[in-house]
């Protein structure tokens, strides 16, 4: 190995280890932290961030990153330098005090958001949100951009992503999806809403958890290197090479939502568990971008979890646990419930057809906020207006509206568009997989290991070796295109709703 690269890796290992300690503190913040401890946790996370920032700013480390001659390096070494340079720009361009301030602010904001959501009180969260927006704008200005400050934030989650590109993607998807929704709403099947979830239905939380653990094991999520917990908003986090954790939440009247959420987060987790072990604590560890990461979660949740074949596989399990509730419910009825297209208020509970419209709404709001075209005080009403425009429904409470997502309390402006990118990547990867595997047969038999092996071989093992555009071309033979997703959605739901 090149001597300069070896020095970089020796130093970077400290950054990586400290990052995982910070991730553990964040996990505890969202899963276990008592309300009165938010100030102390904010101080602890700020301290860890200060040390980690100093490690990034170390003179010798920075000198090598900036000056190393990449022409003399092999493929992996070039990728290491590329990834370091991309990550380092945040620490080299944004003042240390701003980096620490954001960590302190968002740590406190999470607890404020959690309480505000529980009490349906946006005004209590608003001061924290304003601070976060101001900080993110400062960060965007320090990072720099050509046209739009939002571009600087989007790039933190997906390399090179811009608001202009997002706009083109959404402008191509939105009319097609809106038309499909209108066609579905005119069908007889749409009018016959599933009665399996909601209302006074009772599916005990412990039963839901046991089903989730069964499915996790079948999928290939290594529970000896991970765990399942509950949190206000489901997430996955990497605390070590053999410590990849996920969370979900449970609704006693809906046995499907928690399972879809678990499969989603397991998709993230299995990606991390599948990265080549030689990349541990190097700049090649972990998924390469949020868009590629979301492709793995959306693939397992939708392409697998919402398929008729998966319903056939899981139906006996559902009926064993919920004999009284489901009775003699057929696989067709279960499949209809899993794929019920119905504009709803909550993004994480949305069906495949309406889901991306929830993302369009958030993208437009974030873009407008970062360009100071709207005010944070007006967000509840703006949210209601856009929900009416895109989904034809209006939330009665802010808990179901502007307060539903955790992302803004984290300062994660720029994250939401990666969900739609994930849907597009997932469909394109699935199309490539189908050239080698009969996915449907494997799913119905519960042979998920073959599917996971394909993902391991083609995507997971590489970690961050390939940039997203390189990876998608390597796996599928061409650049990212919405055509695969639109084809999948049209064909699947035209058949379900007999269009």
Active-site residues, by number, are: 265
The SS3 of residue 245 is strand
Rounded CA-CA distance 289/432 in Å is 20
Cα distances from 31 to residues 27, 35, 249, 483, in angstroms, run 6, 11, 11, 39
* Residue whose structure tokens are 């499915």: 215
Rounded CA-CA distance 139/151 in Å is 11
The SS3 of residue 34 is coil
> How does DSSP assign 365-432, residue by residue?
HHHHHHTTSS-GGGHHHHHHHHHHHHHS---SSSTTTTTS-SGGGGT-TT-THHHHHHHHHHHHHHHH
The angle formed by the CA atoms of residues 42, 88 and 462, to the nearest 5 degrees, is 100
Rg (CA), the chain: 22
The SS3 of residue 189 is helix
- The two most distant CA atoms of the chain are separated, in Å, by 69
237 strand-pairing partners: 245
The SS3 of residue 290 is helix
- Strands in 236-240's sheet, in edge-to-edge order, are 228-230, 243-248, 236-240
- Our measurement of the distance from residue 224's CA atom to the centroid of its chain's CA atoms, rounded to an integer in Å, reads 23
Per this entry, what is the length of the chain? 499
- Our measurement of the distance from residue 496's CA atom to the centroid of its chain's CA atoms, rounded to an integer in Å, reads 27
Rounded CA-CA distance 336/187 in Å is 13
- Our measurement of the distance from residue 331's CA atom to the centroid of its chain's CA atoms, rounded to an integer in Å, reads 29
């Amino acid at each position: 190995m090149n001597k300069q690269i070896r020095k970089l890796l020796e130093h970077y290992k400290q950054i990586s280890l400290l990052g995982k300690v910070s991730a553990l503190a964040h996990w505890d913040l969202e899963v276990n932290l008592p309300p009165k401890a938010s100030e102390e946790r904010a101080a602890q996370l700020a301290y860890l961030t200060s040390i980690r920032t100093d490690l990034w700013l170390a003179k010798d480390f920075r000198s090598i990153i900036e000056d190393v001659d990449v022409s003399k390096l092999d493929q992996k070494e070039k990728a290491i330098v590329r990834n370091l340079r991309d990550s380092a720009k945040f620490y080299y361009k944004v003042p240390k005090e701003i980096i620490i301030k954001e960590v302190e602010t968002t740590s406190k904001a999470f607890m404020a958001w959690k309480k505000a959501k529980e009490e349906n009180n946006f005004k209590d969260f608003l001061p924290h949100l304003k601070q976060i927006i101001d900080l993110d704008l400062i960060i965007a200005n320090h990072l720099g951009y050509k046209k739009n400050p939002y571009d600087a934030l989007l790039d933190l989650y997906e390399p090179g992503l811009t608001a202009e590109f997002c706009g083109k993607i959404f402008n191509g998807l939105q009319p097609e999806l809106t038309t499909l929704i209108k066609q579905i709403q005119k069908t007889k099947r749409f009018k016959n809403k599933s009665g399996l979830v909601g209302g006074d239905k009772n599916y005990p939380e412990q039963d839901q958890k046991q089903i989730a653990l069964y499915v996790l094991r079948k999928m290939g999520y290594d529970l000896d290197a991970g765990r399942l917990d509950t949190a206000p908003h489901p997430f996955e986090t990497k605390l070590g090479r053999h410590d990849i954790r996920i969370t979900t939440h449970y609704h006693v009247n809906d046995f499907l939502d928690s399972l879809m959420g678990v499969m989603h987060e397991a998709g993230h987790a299995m990606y991390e568990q599948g990265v080549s072990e030689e990349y541990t604590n190097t700049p090649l560890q972990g998924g390469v971008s949020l868009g590629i990461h979301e492709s793995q979660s959306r693939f397992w949740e939708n392409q697998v979890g919402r398929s008729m074949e998966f319903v056939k596989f899981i139906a006996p399990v559902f009926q064993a646990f919920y004999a009284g509730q489901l009775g003699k419910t057929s696989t067709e009825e279960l499949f209809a419930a899993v794929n019920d297209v119905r504009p709803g208020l909550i993004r994480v509970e949305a069906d495949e057809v309406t889901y991306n419209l929830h993302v369009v709404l958030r993208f437009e709001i974030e873009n407008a906020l970062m360009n100071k075209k709207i005010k944070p005080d007006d967000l509840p009403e703006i949210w209601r207006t856009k929900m009416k425009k895109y989904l034809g429904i209006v939330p009665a409470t802010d808990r179901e509206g502007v307060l539903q997502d955790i992302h803004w309390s984290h300062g994660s402006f720029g994250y939401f568009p990666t969900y739609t990118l994930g849907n597009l990547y997932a469909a394109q990867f699935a199309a490539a997989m189908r050239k080698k595997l009969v996915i449907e047969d494997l799913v119905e038999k519960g042979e998920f290991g073959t599917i996971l092996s394909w993902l391991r071989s083609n995507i997971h093992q590489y970690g961050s070796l390939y940039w997203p555009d390189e990876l998608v071309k390597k796996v599928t033979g061409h650049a990212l295109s919405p055509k695969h997703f639109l084809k999948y959605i049209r064909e699947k739901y035209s058949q379900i709703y007999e269009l």
